[in-house]
Amino acid sequence: MLLAGGLAACGGGGGTPTLRWYTNPDDGGQAKLAAECTRASGGRYKIETSVLPIDATAQREQLVRRLAAKDSGLDIMSLDPVFVAEAANAGFLRAFPPNEAEQFTRGVFPPAVRNSTWEGKLYAAPFWANTQILWYRKSVAKKAGVDPSAPGFTWDKLIDAALRSGTTVGAQGNKYEGYMVWVNALIASAGGQIIGSAEKGDDATIGIDSSAGHRAAQVISRLARSRAASPTLSTDIEEQARSLLNGPRGGFMVNWGYIWRAENGDAEDGVIDKRIPADLGWARYPAVDPGRPSKPPFGGIELGIGAYGKYRDTLAVEAVRCVTSTPNMKKYMIDSGNPAARAEVFDDPEIVKEFPMAGLIRDSINAAAPRPITPYYTDVSGAVQSRWHPPASVDAGTPHRSGTFIRQVLRDQALL
């Protein structure tokens, strides 16, 4: 089907300028939008899509290699928000001048704008925004006697509830970007940040060795060493956490918004028990301290324009405008299940009907804390993963060790 969409896009004729859009894999939603915008352009351009590897780190690897070689055949790219700063700093992205920037940021969630901005300039157009929420089995919460949506529902209460009911708290503990998402959300929820004044490059202030860092370490260490942890926590990614929730010991899980679609789809296909979706509840990402509302993780995709493409100042901008228009964001959200980057889409009746938790997702994205915005993001994330993994090894010394290590890695004083 996605192929059909792509082929339809190619039907535009020979002399039409072609824009190449590198997309993250998404079951063809972006390819459909490409076809849509090609049609809407009335033959002035056509967009062809190329699919990048599945995981974010590998996507970045391929894009960076192409951009470092000044690939002129890279017009538009779907970028994970954490890589925008790096690409912008390296001169790989075309900046949007203020008059263009306005329309790409109007009504867009603040964390998405912050993540797309580097040194005061907008380098990418927010396309869709993502966040994690707490998913749980309503029956389990009832049995444990907790209301996860109550304000002040903390990780400690969550772990207690799972222990009481003999269930688990699923999380992403594999040594990969998803684990960094968890660590960062915990530190931000405790009122800290891993890196401050990131624009100073390798002189940035490192805030992981702080009281917030210690609180985060306590949460991870407590969960990982308790019976509420997944037996394979140290290799779990999103999908393992989901199957844990569907299993006999399933209770709670922090995970992205795609869960709703995935669970309903699996129930329809008979992969999981048909009663599970009806038993599925959702609440805001758990807090670390009772008095401080949580800062949920932030993710999604921003669209960057390659600095070396032939149509970077003309057709590429037009195409990005088309793809990120509010109607197309809504279309993409219904099509792929990925939340739009503009808040107004979430009030759309069609969206509310399709995603009953749309309001929660909107509020979570609004409150979300981005991961460190720094051109050295890969190093920072890798250094954190290296010292915080496996989750069961985290102890009171972890924040300090990781702080020292991040500094060393940033200064080329240690291998990673």
Partner 1 sequence: MTAVQSAPVAGRPAGRAEVSDRSRAERRLGLLLSAPAVLVMLVVTAYPLFNALYLSLFSYRLTAPDDRRFVWFGNYATALSDPLFWQDVLTTFLVTAITVVVELVIGFALAMVMHRALFMRRTVRTAILLPYGIVTVISAFAWRYAFDLQSGFVNQWFGLGDYAWFSGRWSSLSVIILSEIWKTTPFVSLLLLAGLAQVPRDLGEAATVDGATAWQRLWRVTVPNMKAAILVAVLFRTLDAWRIFDNVFVMTSGQQHTETLSFLTYRQTISRTAIGLGDAVGVLLFLSVVLIAVVFIRGFRVDLSQVRGDR
Task: Between 92 and 355, name the residue whose CB sits nearer to partner 1.
Answer: 92
Angle between helices 377-388 and 398-410 (to 10 degrees): 150
Binding segment for partner 1 among 71-79, 222-230, 362-370, 372-380 (CB under 8 A)? Answer: 372-380
Q: Which of 371, 393, 392 is nearest to 382 (CA)?
A: 371
**Residue 379 in contact with partner 1, rule: CB under 8 A:** yes
The reply to whether 238 sits near partner 1 by the rule CB under 8 A is no
Output 205 or 235, the one with its CB closest to partner 1.
Answer: 235
The nearest distance, CB 171 to partner 1, in angstroms, is 17
What minimum distance in Å lies between the beta carbon of 58 and partner 1?
Answer: 9
Among 100, 160, 199, 202, binds partner 1 (CB under 8 A): 202
Q: In angstroms, what is the minimal distance from the CB of 17 to partner 1?
A: 29
Does 197 participate in binding partner 1 (rule CB under 8 A)?
Answer: no
Q: Does 173 bind partner 1 (CB under 8 A)?
A: no
* Under rule CB under 8 A, residue 199 binds partner 1: no
Contacts with partner 1 in 48-67 (CB under 8 A)? 57, 61, 64-65
Q: In the bound complex, what is the minimum distance in angstroms from residue 163's beta carbon to partner 1?
A: 23
- Which span (88-96, 120-128, 251-259, 331-339) binds partner 1, by CB under 8 A? 88-96
The residue (of 60 and 214) whose beta carbon lies closer to partner 1 is 60
- 147 binding partner 1? (CB under 8 A): no
**Residue 375 binds partner 1 (CB under 8 A):** yes
Are 280 and 138 in contact by the 8 Å Cβ rule? The answer is: yes
Is the Cβ of residue 92 or residue 123 nearer to partner 1 in the bound state?
92
* Residue 325 binding partner 1, by CB under 8 A: no
Which residues, other chains included, contact 207 with Cβ-Cβ below 8 Å and sequence gap of 6+? Answer: 187, 192, 193, 194, 195, 196, 213
Query: Is 106 among the residues that bind partner 1 (CB under 8 A)?
Result: no
What does the alpha-carbon distance between residue 392 and residue 241 come to, in Å, rounded to a whole number? 17
Cα separation, 404 vs 133, in Å, equals 31
Task: Return the residues of window 264-293 that contact partner 1 according to CB under 8 A.
Answer: none
Q: How near is the Cβ of 254 to partner 1 at its closest, in Å?
A: 22
Q: Which of 205, 211, 232, 314 binds partner 1 (CB under 8 A)?
A: 232
Pick one of 91, 97, 151, 356: the residue that binds partner 1 (CB under 8 A).
91
Span of 73-81, 276-284, 319-327, 370-378 interacting with partner 1 by CB under 8 A: 370-378
Using CB under 8 A, list all residues that contact partner 1: 57, 61, 64-65, 68, 86-87, 89-92, 175, 201-202, 232, 234-235, 375-376, 378-379, 382, 411-416
